[in-house]
Structure 1
Amino acid sequence: MIIDATDTILGRMASIVAKKALQGEEVTIINAEKAVISGTRESVFMKYKFKTDVGDQIRGPFMSRMADRLVRRVIRGMLPWHSSRGRAAFRKVNVFIGNPENVTGAEKLKEASIQTLKNPRYVSMEEISKHLGGAKVR
């Protein structure tokens, strides 16, 4: 299954992806930087800034700043990570910034679309990544 994350709500998309991965399906997400999180800019930025500031440089915990890795981390939080089943499912999830040339036939998730938001306040993963100081591409 190939999913285009453009204008999709991150949490809803992540729960769908986690379920598909647990069922044994390979899932590829493209345009991860265009996924959005609902909420005001200040509250979302503060939440992610706090997550990256926890711990120290030697012992961690370590939090990535790149959009594709942030999306992978959200999906990981919806899987049973401490079991072999959850780790096997997580290996089936691939996330890309932009659209790689070899990936075609991406579908949009209607149930995770940004049009379902009642509140028009949201922040893209690209903006969060820039705020945290992350690079755009690997």
Structure 2
Amino acid sequence: MREYIEKIKEVEISLSKELGEFNLFGLLEREDIIDKWDILVSLTLSKDKNHNKQKNSIIKKLHEELIKNLPNSIFFKFSRIVFLEPSNPFVLNINMLANVQHGDIEIKDSTINNLRIKHAYIISSKRE
């Protein structure tokens, strides 16, 4: 996955210009699923719009950008895109551990909020 982090960062930078800064944007390989990665995103949503529609729109845009910018062999390593609210305890704990914007902090063999993490790349993480 390391060789594609720069491409994924480009996607994150492009989307952050369009949608606003991410509270969390990262890739996570859990211990319980071999060679599959979750894409975690957290973003403050507009208060005057339907939150479910906003989440779905963000996930759709991210999905489209990843398809456009990554080879199928890497794209199929992603198991899901997970949208987390900025107030989610997992997001808050990552924000305390990593303060980065458009970078790539690597985490290995850790437990956060009782979730065993085999490997993770945190591309953006900021406290609200």
More helix by share: 1
More strand by share: 2
| Larger Rg computed on CA atoms | 1
Per the normalisation by structure 1, the TM-score is 0.30
Per the normalisation by structure 2, the TM-score is 0.31
